[in-house]
Every structure is written in C-alpha cells, then in structure tokens.
Amino acid sequence: MQELKKAQFTVSADIALNLAQCTEQLRSQSYDVVVAEYPSPSWNGSQGLQSLRQAVEETPLLFLTTSKGKESIAELTAHGAFDYVDGEHIAQLPMAVRRALNEKKLRTELEEAGKALKHSQSLYRALVDNPAYGVCRCDAQGKFVSVNQALVTMLGYATKEELLAANHPSDGVFDLGTGSALAERSAERMRINPIEIEWKRKNGTALKVRLSGRGIFDEHGDCVGHEIIAVDVTEERTLEQQLRNQASSDSLTGLANHRRLFDALHAEICRSKRTKREFSLVLLDLDGLKKINDRYGHLAGDRALCRLALILA
C-alpha cells in the first residue's frame, strides 16, 4: 500500500483473508486490480489458482511471490496471472499495477471498438441486404463491381454472378452516360445528389431508377468509382404520368380536355406571334348525339363519342 501511495496512486483497498471471502467481495463490487500473495496459507496448488482466476474474472491478477513461490512462476502464468512481483523487491509493485491498469484500459477500449465494429457491420448488412433498394459499387466507367441481391432481383437476373458477368458496356445494363454524370457530380463533392435514369432489365424492358451515393477517390483525388443506392421508381413515375394524363384528358374518350386545349392554344398563339405565321383552329359539331341518347340510351351515346375519338386520334 505504501509503495503505491508513494507512486502517486489513489488507493482504496479491501483485504480478503481467504479465497471464499475474496470471491464474495468480487461479486459485491468492482476492483481495478487484484493483488494476491503466493503461496498463501489459506489456499495453494493448481485448484486454488484456478478458483482464484475464476473469481477475479477479467480483473488483472497480480501475485506477490515469496522465496518459496519463485519456483512456481510458470504455474502462476498458466493459470491466468497477469504479472508477479518478487516480495523482496516490493518497490516494483507500482510499475506492475500501472501495466495491469493500462492493459485493462486497452482491453476495454478494444472490446468497445469491437462492439462498435459489429454494430457498424450489422447496419451495413441491413443496408446491403435490404430488399427495398439495390446497393452496388461501380468502377469509374459505370461497371458493377459488387451488387446486393435486391439489385439482382430489380434487374431480373437470377444471381449476383450472372449480373456481374453480364455487365459490360455493350449490353446496356448500365448506361455509360450515367457513369459520366456521376463522375461530374463526384468531382464537385463526395456526395451524389439523387438523379433518375433509365436502366434495362435482363428481358429488355425499361425501368426508372433513382440513384444516390458517393464517389470513391484514390490518394491523388481522382474518382475511381461510386457507391450507389438504386431505388426502383418505375411504378411511382407511371402513376404520376397517369395522374397528369387524367388531369389533362377526358376520362371517357381519352382526348384532350379544356385544360390541355387552353395550354395548346396559348402555345400556338405565342408561336404565331414569334414566327408571324397564322394557325388554324378546327371546330367539330357532332349532330344527332341527343337522339342517340334518347333512343338507344347513354351507353350507346358514349360508344358513339368513343368511336369518333378513335377516328380523330
């Protein structure tokens, strides 16, 4: 105790007279280091050493050895002793305690770093394996280097290997023009603002995807690739187009409604003023529609309107 205080340690210690008392104290509170006498009158031998090691668990265990215990140093180390100090050189105890505390701190930091790494890996796996969107890494030319299963499914392939093997400039899986656009954005900043492009599925059909991610740069600052998140927005864009069509089309005939007519007239008037050329407006009057409705019903009248719309279209 005196040697530790001389070395500027703040010491608070409990004394255990036997192994049972030591075990009980270790269960009730936490200690930074355990210093045990060896050999001890209350315990000895391999079984006692093993029991003591189990009691202290992860707490650094130091032994103060007497002349009788010097021959058992290898046995102490084999049973988990962190270090030992010759009782005849007690002045070395502070150094051994400091090493033990530093080792414990380092072990704690490593454990925390390991937990943080596992958490980061689990988040990455959750991101990569998320079936809602595709994740890929591309080289500077836009060729896939690695992909997740969601992207494989999105593009209609059976396996990752099949998609990676099929991805070359001539097959149109990845538009090389997109690679250039991403490179331009990456040159401005690390993050890639979301852009929408058209990809081709394996069967040749098109899909709209929204890409976002970041550029990958080498030690010279040159962009060597991209990490991309791809979201299939085909259904979303199709629905938007349907809504736009509904807003500007007649629901029965599919022809342009008055809103689109006004837009077209405005555009033609502006063009006529700009080019100094006249334009024509044709008006059609459908005679006899009321007679059809009155005699055959409104469904027949609707069919007549649709027939006319088909002819005009």
Give per-residue pLDDT as tens, 167-217.
Answer: 654 344 444 345 555 555 555 555 667 888 888 888 989 899 988 888 888
112 and 146 inside one domain? no
Name the phi and psi angles at 98, rounded to 5.
-65, -40
300 and 230 inside one domain? no
62 and 28 inside one domain? yes
pLDDT of residue 199: 86
pLDDT of residue 253: 82
Number of domains in the chain: 3
Beta strand pairing call for 134-139 and 144-147: antiparallel
Select from 212, 237, 262 the last residue of a domain: 237
Is residue 217 situated within a structural domain?
yes
Range of the domain at 217: 130-237
Is residue 89 situated within a structural domain?
yes
Tens-digit pLDDT profile for residues 218-265 = 888 887 888 888 889 998 888 888 888 878 888 788 788 888 888 889
Select from 185, 214, 237 the last residue of a domain: 237
Q: What is the mean pLDDT of the chain?
A: 78
pLDDT at 85 over 80: no
- Confidence category of residue 77, pLDDT binned at 50, 70, 90: low
Which of 273, 301, 299 has its CA nearest to residue 286?
301
Is residue 207 situated within a structural domain?
yes
For the chain, how far is it from start to end, CA to CA, in angstroms?
101
Select from 237, 269, 301 the last residue of a domain: 237
Task: Specify the long-range contacts of residues 147-152, CB closer than 8 Å, at least 24 apart.
Answer: 151/230
Higher-pLDDT residue of 163, 140: 163
Q: Are 126 and 111 in contact (CB under 8 A)?
A: no
73 and 10 inside one domain? yes
Q: How far apart are CA 242 and CA 239, in angstroms?
A: 5
108 and 6 inside one domain? yes
